[in-house]
Structure 1
């Protein structure tokens, strides 16, 4: 069974102590998590030529704060909400009342403040439980939220993320983890292979909000259904990729088997390290972001190296962006007294254990 230990990580600008928790299993895999933003700081996977850290991050608390409080925040490794992704024009209507949110992404609202909270932590066995409260009116949203994030590492190199949120008033919620993966452990991700189990995607407008059109990926650069190199068609002049910095920043509609709860949604591999990663989720969508603007991050990455364009890819399992503007999308409304739950699982393999993508 995995073990958990802790150590001090740093101090915030407001003087709060931040702790790093390390989950490690007998096979040599480990996951490091901060109680600041439930940040996944490291995922270290044993590989053919030694252990590989497969996620991007920072070395110091100051770097995380400089990143997360900047207008170009990467949200590197963080748990994000109240509403992951965008809310168009930073406004929504619920129960006949209109709520104006902070415009922190051009004219839109993006992600919210969960990545900057300090969470209370309990741990037992192979599981880390992180809890916090979001008061009524925080980020402009109604309702006081009780938040629980549970991270579990098992002996077969499976890392599971469970979210549980309840509210005392009707509100909207969309949650995800914003880790950037690089299965090579460095460089860019263009030669890593990715398969996304989605035959449709949400068309975006020139501010990366959905138009409402759900389009087939077939015969376009958006198609990852058979698996391909991330860089194969990343910047070929296709309007949907050109308008987001020459890459992907789109929500895919996961192909889900009838009656299934947690379905496979993505599979990534590195020929360099031999590492494969499969993602499973209960959520309806997955946002692929290929780090098109990582080079603009104000804080250095690990080892003091600047983050680079295409230096990592995010696979954000979530409900659809801008859902309040599109009643035809799966609802993100959380009713008072009800509970929102979501699970995403990452399974890591090395060599031939995973099969061939």
Structure 2
């Protein structure tokens, strides 16, 4: 069965809760604050239970933190150029919370709100959180009801299932923003020794501000080529304009032209612990981010997260897609239904 306990109170006195779901030897801690993933524990090659997700000890950490750790990001993940977009001939203005641009939907983010807990499965392997986002919320049109279900369809595989409906055409591009370190969240090591494979022939180049140029560039011959397993640190310091613009990897990889089927997007392996993580999704893009802006954040159990202490694999539509018609469009039509799934599957490689 799942566990529930208090997770502290927000600055305005709201009580947050922490839930644990489990299957076999794997456990995930989740909070209704931001529908956030707080921890994921699994056995490494030596049988040690290892928490591989960066996070905080209580709700105040999530409330005050600025790195979106573990959070459910929406309505739109990533960046929108000029903090505005047009839909059905009307222009919508959003918060300019990253220079002149909009990042993760602005100041009043979904990850900073308490979501409704819809229910925990009888066997303790899944939990669903939901949120009502009214018309005009964050500047987006339409009343939106969105939910995310975290579940263990099998041991070691944490699935995130998103569902949403709206009464007007709107943007709907949620993601989970967990940071992972397969050496352990409190190991004190960076993630540069992790080996990464990304199953993509192209990536999305950006200009200053992390805004896409509108191109889909071939990874071949660039530091962005992870078609074969490669250490994160192998090319991250190369004198490459794209890497210098973002301080490391913070780019979207092209998985498919549209959402259509579940497919493997990436594999990450940590030689130190023998832990392996697969990312499986039906989303068109994968944002690979190497924690370039983490700086002395106080995390769980006394851990301090610094530069490149964790990596993120955010499944989503391409950044600024709503302003670039050549990209798959993150538009949810009135009366329609949005549904998308991502699985983080963990295993251990024995010697």
TM-score by shorter chain over 0.5? yes
Alignment partner, residue 7 of structure 1: 5
Q: 1:118 aligns with which of 88, 105, 114?
A: 114
Alignment partner, residue 280 of structure 1: 280
Alignment partner, residue 170 of structure 2: 171
Alignment partner, residue 26 of structure 2: 29
- What whole-Å deviation, never above 9, does each CA across 1:200-222 have from its counterpart, x for those lacking one? 00010011010001100001100
Which whole-Å CA distance do the structure 1 matches of 2:210 and 2:346 have between them? 31
Which whole-Å CA distance do the structure 2 matches of 1:213 and 1:147 have between them? 31
Alignment partner, residue 251 of structure 2: 250
| CA contact 2:62–2:112 (8 Å) conserved in 1 | no
Matched, 1:40 2:33: no
The secondary structure found in structure 2 opposite 1:294 is coil
Alignment partner, residue 83 of structure 1: 76
The secondary structure found in structure 1 opposite 2:214 is strand
Which whole-Å CA distance do the structure 2 matches of 1:20 and 1:248 have between them? 32
Give 1:304 shift.
3.0
Matched, 1:182 2:181: yes
Alignment partner, residue 195 of structure 1: 197
Pairwise CA RMSD of aligned residues?
1.6
* Runs of 4+ residues deviating >6 angstroms: none
Which whole-Å CA distance do the structure 2 matches of 1:130 and 1:89 have between them? 31
Stretches of structure 1 that go unaligned for 5 or more consecutive residues are: 68-72
Number of paired residues?
341
Which whole-Å CA distance do the structure 1 matches of 2:197 and 2:154 have between them? 25
The secondary structure found in structure 1 opposite 2:233 is coil
**What pairs with 1:212-291 in structure 2 (closer than 5 Å)?**
212-245=214-247, 247-254=248-255, 261-291=261-291
- What whole-Å deviation, never above 9, does each CA across 1:206-251 have from its counterpart, x for those lacking one? 1101000110000110000101001000011111001112x10000
**What pairs with 1:140-151 in structure 2 (closer than 5 Å)?**
140-151=139-150
Alignment partner, residue 139 of structure 1: 138
- What whole-Å deviation, never above 9, does each CA across 1:121-152 have from its counterpart, x for those lacking one? 11113220111100111101010101111110
| CA contact 1:197–1:255 (8 Å) conserved in 2 | no
